[in-house]
Amino acid sequence: MRRWNGWGDDQFSLELPEQGQSFLSERIGAATPLQDTTLASVCASVPESRLPADASVDDLIDRTPETRVRHARGQSLADWLAMRSGEIGEFPDGVAFPKTNTDVRTLLHFAQEQDVHLIPYGGGTSVAGHINPVDQGKPVLTVSLASLNRMIDLDRESQVATFGAGTPGPLVESQLRAQGYTLGHFPQSFELSTIGGWVASRSSGQQSLRYGRIEQLFAGGRIETLQGTLNLPTIPASSAGPDIREMILGSEGRLGMITEVKARVSQLPEQESFHVVFFPNWNDARTAARRLVQNRVQLSMLRLSNAIETETQLALAGHPRLIGLLERFLAFRGADEGKCMMTFGVTGTRPQCRAALAEARKICASQQGVYTGTKLGAKWAEKRFTMPYLREALWHMGYAVDTLETATDWDNVDNLLNSMETNLREGLADRNERTHVFTHLSHFYGQGCSIYTTYVFRVADTYEETLSRWQHLKNTTSELIVQNRGTISHQHGVGKDHAPFLPVEKGELGMRAIRSLTDSFDPDQRLNPKTLLD
Amino acid sequence: MRRWNGWGDDQFSLELPEQGQSFLSERIGAATPLQDTTLASVCASVPESRLPADASVDDLIDRTPETRVRHARGQSLADWLAMRSGEIGEFPDGVAFPKTNTDVRTLLHFAQEQDVHLIPYGGGTSVAGHINPVDQGKPVLTVSLASLNRMIDLDRESQVATFGAGTPGPLVESQLRAQGYTLGHFPQSFELSTIGGWVASRSSGQQSLRYGRIEQLFAGGRIETLQGTLNLPTIPASSAGPDIREMILGSEGRLGMITEVKARVSQLPEQESFHVVFFPNWNDARTAARRLVQNRVQLSMLRLSNAIETETQLALAGHPRLIGLLERFLAFRGADEGKCMMTFGVTGTRPQCRAALAEARKICASQQGVYTGTKLGAKWAEKRFTMPYLREALWHMGYAVDTLETATDWDNVDNLLNSMETNLREGLADRNERTHVFTHLSHFYGQGCSIYTTYVFRVADTYEETLSRWQHLKNTTSELIVQNRGTISHQHGVGKDHAPFLPVEKGELGMRAIRSLTDSFDPDQRLNPKTLLD
């Protein structure tokens, strides 16, 4: 069953190998875990539902405490601390499970008539507070699109597939693969997040280099709004005025509820493999990555870990003897202290893969890269969605882990990366706490790339102080990002946590443009209030 | 000097070869040209300027009749007929030539204070009526951005170049090429159209397969609005809410005046070549094109002429003996009557070009394509921007020529193409006139492609009847396009001519979304009124 207070299926857990524990303990000290509360105790704390009875929707709504608890929070670290401590604050007053577009329209009508706020809910994997209710003095109904989880149509000629918006990653891929197709959208939240959620929050997947971001994959669909149904036709490209698709992408439920997504799919590739190269230093590694993408080498994924992430990953991987051998080999080839690991994928027809691999190896070699083949790449592919489970393992050891991500132009990558890492590393110094911080670049563009930084710190004696540590690190670094030419989010969206930082990025007139859309579609702010625009 | 009543430089003209003339005459009859009016006579008809005197802007504004005539119309066939007949209708009351962003802000302030309408003007190449003044009882000031024509900055590391919005294609490329870079945006209007105009109208270039549409090339920039300056920061990609860039793209001057464009550029490629393949029939040809793009073969351009366009191009090419030889060779290889010509480009590093060419040839061969090498492709490249000059030659022979374009999904391409051609071919039957109609596909996407249809008909005895013939063909085919899953424009924009057809495509709520933006930025509708939204 899905964990009520953390990530994924409770039948699956990861162990941190022994040397991983000692590595962290050396870096930031041994830790003592906090005590988690129980589901039963949280359920007992859930207040009465404020939702009015209404025969038109009562069949669709579950008001039981457990369901309300299970839909109250996402997966940000603040959400974890809330769920683990039991201090959840706001709960939805009920959770609706519409089975059809008509059900969704009925729920919107109900909200309008009964002055109820609605929160659309996909996989509940937001790490930015998208689906958390806020107290506005109105009843809140969370609308789970979980029942809209089928592939409705597949047009093989146009390679457009239509899905119910609540279809989660694995069901998107399994329904497509059965027909020889793939969407190719693999965010780390893939196991739980949904295709409608990807559109609503402008998601990006690990193989965006080949398949594109969700902006490129979203061909059209159906959005139920308080003003009626918005049908977005599928047209491959158009110069007919501003693109309405692009107003829905990233709208985070503020304009309406996405119920159907038409997505651009691809035939399953003939071949796919992932390769690992080590570079002796960051400068060569970063230059190689930039050259790969600016030369349009046909890769399907690219990820570049900085020296600390490389060291951390090797330490946490287990298999100390094998890793020791690898490190001696790399040292012999010139990649020793300070080495940086690059993982890249080649996907496509056999000739495409052959050509891309040859070009990639050549560019890497010219920047002193040491090619190590596909073994470590296969490991990456095998574990590509398991990182969130490690959070659970660390939690039980007394460590809190969170990530921060942005994107910026190439000329600013090092500056922003270093500022973010320094701010996180030194952020708890006045509380006499250390933070372990490491970063990778991924999602590469000719113009720049995303920066994805992970930080680990010890939980404090109390939940309150632990939350305060996190808030300090998160908020100061977020401010630093938007003040230094970074986007407040490359792939996690805005939600409630990033909303205060959005105006710096969009500017006053940019915010006005977004507000003119929400004012037009939802003048009374009934749909996911305080998300995106606070 | 630039032609006041037609396309391009008046020092350059194309002749239609003898067999081209007889080909057309056979198809739709011999024709008698209409008599053009003179520039002097049109200038004499220009009314007094209604612009109020205002010391803050008078230095920037040219009120002379000739300048007003030269900025009154674009390049649609209706514009041509207006200019050739002298029945131009509305003229701008003056043309401003701002030299700086501050000048543009001053002009906006003037418009607000003095109740003047503004029309932004780039290269004046619109074929959809974007820059034509309409009578709203208010003075109209056209704002030419021609003086903002320099590359302001080139960031080599991030590959982002900043241009004044009025920089025309040749100056974009020459300033970049001097530094080893290219934008790679080559619409057919390249010689005259500007980078700001490309953004405002969502343009697409002949090599969009490699470089992307202008949506992918536009990284950010500066827009002066009636509410203040909108600065769009350069960020490679973001999930931070709806993308403001995408609201400016295709805004056609309704939200503000684009003054600076930051564009994603590429290093000049190592290699580039264009290749021609003939297919024995449309079905194989279209299938090959679809397979090329759905298999992600790294081509830089792709164009597929249907049988009538192929025949027409070979007839109009001149060199009957050489073409005869080619046709005998093709017939011997199985591509005879009904054959279809495909042109494709490979661009990039040497290994990329080699791999792409090999894959493309293999796919073409498997659909019975006969590869003919790079001779015809080089001819295409040499003449890629000269087609509009042919219009001038045809005009002087008594033929009017226009194009219609759309894009649709693959499963609908044949249906829509045939409907469009049939409607155009039979559209003047009740006037006892024939139309010569031919089509190519270009701008290919996994999901579909653009359909670009050219039609030639004889001018009537009068301008009035000639315009009526055009209006009938244009309007009935435009209606047919939007009723049959096509966009009203893939690359020409909406302007005034396509505005009546936009609501079918966008839907009521889509139109409301666009209106909420224009209402917010320009509540009094002073900026380019009747364009985009009528």
Say if domain B387-497 classifies as CATH 3.90.226.10: no
ipTM of model: 0.97
Put simply, the answer to whether B485 touches A235 (Cβ < 8 Å) is yes
| Rounded Cα gap, residues A521 and B509, in angstroms | 9
| Rounded Cα gap, residues B38 and B85, in angstroms | 9
Q: Which residue of B has its CA nearest to A413?
A: B158
Which residue in this structure is represented by tokens 């977004």?
A514
Share of chain A above pLDDT 70, in %: 100
A184 closest CA partner among A102, A122, A267: A267
Chain A residues touching B210 at Cβ < 8 A: 296
Q: Which residue of A has its CA nearest to B356?
A: A352
pLDDT in tens, A166-203: 999 999 999 999 999 999 999 999 999 999 999 999 99
Within A29-64, where are the H helices? 39-44
Write the CB contacts of B295 (distance below 8 Å, at least 6 apart in sequence): A267, A348, A349, B359, B363
DSSP-assigned letters across all residues of B129-154: -TT----SSS-EEEEE-TT--SEEEE
Across the beta sheet with A271-279, the strand order is A370-371, A271-279, A340-348, A301-305, A436-444, A448-458, A399-409
Position B428 scores a pLDDT of 98
| B271-382 CATH, one of 3.30.70.3450, 3.30.360.10, 3.40.50.300, 3.40.1390.30 | 3.30.70.3450
Size of interface A-B (CB pairs under 8 A): 306
In B152-211, the residues whose Cβ lies within 8 Å of chain A are 155, 157-160, 201-204, 210
Position B394 scores a pLDDT of 94
* Residue A149: pLDDT band with limits 50, 70, 90: very high
Strand ranges in A128-265 using DSSP code E only, listed in sequence order: 140-144, 151-155, 160-164, 181-182, 218-225, 228-232, 257-264
pLDDT in tens, A218-256: 999 999 999 999 999 999 999 999 999 999 999 999 999
Write the CB contacts of A417 (distance below 8 Å, at least 6 apart in sequence): A306, A439, A441, A451, A453
Position A387 scores a pLDDT of 86
Q: Which two tokens stand for residue A64?
A: 């039981």
The phi-psi region of residue B527 (left if phi > 0; otherwise alpha if psi is between -120 and 50; otherwise beta) is: beta
B200 closest CA partner among B461, B495, B529: B495
DSSP-assigned letters across all residues of B35-77: PPP-HHHHHHTPPPP-PPP-TTTGGGEE--HHHHHHTS--SSH
Put simply, the answer to whether B159 touches A485 (Cβ < 8 Å) is no
Write the CB contacts of B382 (distance below 8 Å, at least 6 apart in sequence): none
Chain A residues touching B239 at Cβ < 8 A: 201-204, 250, 487, 489-494
Put simply, the answer to whether B230 touches A510 (Cβ < 8 Å) is yes
Maximum Cα interatomic distance, chain B, rounded to a whole number of Å = 74
Chain B residues touching A200 at Cβ < 8 A: none
Nearest chain A CA: its distance from B417 CA (Å) = 15
Element (H, E) at B293: helix B282-294
Length of chain B: 534
CB B205 within 8 A of CB B184: yes
Put simply, the answer to whether B507 touches A264 (Cβ < 8 Å) is no
Which 8-state DSSP code applies to residue B251?
-
| Rounded Cα gap, residues B207 and B348, in angstroms | 12
* Residue A534: pLDDT band with limits 50, 70, 90: confident
Across the beta sheet with A94-96, the strand order is A61-62, A94-96, A140-144, A117-121
Position B240 scores a pLDDT of 98
Position A14 scores a pLDDT of 87
pLDDT at A16 over 90: no
Q: Which of B201, B225, B249 sits opposite A509 (nearest CB)?
A: B225
**Fold (topology level) of A36-144:** 3.30.43
The verdict on A272 touching B (C-beta cutoff 8 Å) is no
- Find the range with the poorest average confidence among A314-318, A482-486, B206-210: A314-318
For the segment A324-331, the average pLDDT, to the nearest whole number, is 92
Question: What's the Cα-to-Cα distance from B405 to each of B151, B199, B402, B503, rounded to whole Å?
Answer: 32, 18, 10, 18
| Rounded Cα gap, residues A504 and B238, in angstroms | 14
pLDDT at A318 over 90: no
Strand ranges in A187-265 using DSSP code E only, listed in sequence order: 218-225, 228-232, 257-264
Helix A18-28 vs helix A307-316: angle between axes, to the nearest 10 degrees? 140
Write the single-letter amino acid at B9: D
Q: Can you give the pLDDT of all 534 residues of chain B as single tens digits?
A: 999 999 999 998 888 888 888 999 999 999 999 999 999 999 999 999 999 999 999 999 999 999 999 999 999 999 999 999 999 999 999 999 999 999 999 999 999 999 999 999 999 999 999 999 999 999 999 999 999 999 999 999 999 999 999 999 999 999 999 999 999 999 999 999 999 999 999 999 999 999 999 999 999 999 999 999 999 999 999 999 999 999 999 999 999 999 999 999 999 999 999 999 999 999 999 999 999 999 999 999 999 999 999 999 998 887 888 889 999 999 999 989 999 999 999 999 999 999 999 999 999 999 999 999 999 999 999 999 988 899 999 999 999 999 999 999 999 999 999 999 999 999 999 999 999 999 999 999 999 999 999 999 999 999 999 999 999 999 999 999 999 999 999 999 999 999 999 999 999 999 999 999 999 999 999 999 999 998
* Residue A18: pLDDT band with limits 50, 70, 90: confident
Using DSSP, state whether B94 is helix, strand or coil: strand
Q: Which of A159, A447, A506 sits opposite B160 (nearest CB)?
A: A447
Write the CB contacts of A329 (distance below 8 Å, at least 6 apart in sequence): none
The verdict on B443 touching A (C-beta cutoff 8 Å) is yes
pLDDT in tens, A338-385: 999 999 999 999 999 999 999 999 999 999 999 999 999 999 999 999
Chain A residues touching B513 at Cβ < 8 A: 242, 244, 247, 517, 520-521
Which residue in this structure is represented by tokens 């024509």?
B149
A427 closest CA partner among A486, A492, A475, A482: A475
Nearest chain A CA: its distance from B488 CA (Å) = 6
Position B498 scores a pLDDT of 98
Using DSSP, state whether A357 is helix, strand or coil: helix
For the segment A437-452, the average pLDDT, to the nearest whole number, is 98
Q: Is the pTM of this model over 0.95?
A: yes
Nearest chain B CA: its distance from A144 CA (Å) = 21
Within A404-458, where are the H helices? 410-426
In B348-387, the residues whose Cβ lies within 8 Å of chain A are 348-349, 351-352, 354-355, 358-359
| Rounded Cα gap, residues A480 and A451, in angstroms | 13
Put simply, the answer to whether A513 touches B249 (Cβ < 8 Å) is no
Second CATH level (architecture) for the domain A151-267: 2-Layer Sandwich (3.30)
Rg (C-alpha) for chain A, rounded Å, is 23
pLDDT at A319 over 90: no
The verdict on A16 touching B (C-beta cutoff 8 Å) is no
Put simply, the answer to whether B240 touches A521 (Cβ < 8 Å) is no
CB B408 within 8 A of CB B487: yes
What percent of the residues of chain A are helix, what percent strand, and what percent coil, each to the nearest 5? 40, 20, 40
| Rounded Cα gap, residues B439 and B456, in angstroms | 12
Beta bridge pairs of residue B190: none
The verdict on B230 touching A (C-beta cutoff 8 Å) is yes
Which 8-state DSSP code applies to residue B499?
G
Element (H, E) at B435: strand B435-444
CB A336 within 8 A of CB A280: yes
**What's the CA dihedral at A161, A167, A170, A174 to 10 degrees?**
-40
CB B246 within 8 A of CB B215: yes
CA atoms within 13 A on the CB side of B520: 20
Task: Enumerate long-range contacts of A503-512, CB under 8 Å, 24 or more apart.
Answer: A505/B233, A505/B235, A505/B238, A505/B240, A506/B240, A506/B241, A506/B244, A507/B230, A507/B231, A508/B228, A509/B225, A509/B227, A509/B228, A509/B229, A509/B230, A509/B521, A510/B230, A510/B232, A510/B244, A512/B227, A512/B520, A512/B521
Position B18 scores a pLDDT of 85
Q: Where are the domains of chain B?
A: 18-144, 151-267, 271-382, 387-497
Strand ranges in A218-286 using DSSP code E only, listed in sequence order: 218-225, 228-232, 257-264, 266-267, 271-279
Which residue in this structure is represented by tokens 């809410």?
B241
Write the single-letter amino acid at A531: T
Share of chain A above pLDDT 90, in %: 95
Q: Which residue of B has its CA nearest to A230?
A: B509
CA atoms within 13 A on the CB side of A437: 23
Strand ranges in B206-245 using DSSP code E only, listed in sequence order: 218-225, 228-232
Put simply, the answer to whether B159 touches A410 (Cβ < 8 Å) is yes
* Residue A419: pLDDT band with limits 50, 70, 90: very high
Using DSSP, state whether B464 is helix, strand or coil: helix
Helix A77-85 vs helix A387-396: angle between axes, to the nearest 10 degrees? 40
Q: May I ask the CATH class of domain B18-144?
A: alpha beta
Burial tier of B179 (Cβ tally within 10 Å: 0-12, 13-18, 19+): middle
Pairing of strands A370-371, A340-348: unpaired
Burial tier of A274 (Cβ tally within 10 Å: 0-12, 13-18, 19+): buried
Task: Enumerate long-range contacts of B34-38, CB under 8 Å, 24 or more apart.
Answer: B34/B84, B34/B85, B34/B398, B34/B459, B34/B462, B34/B463, B34/B466, B36/B5, B36/B84, B37/B84, B37/B85, B37/B86
Write the CB contacts of B279 (distance below 8 Å, at least 6 apart in sequence): B285, B288, B335, B339, B340, B342, B364, B367, B368, B369, B370
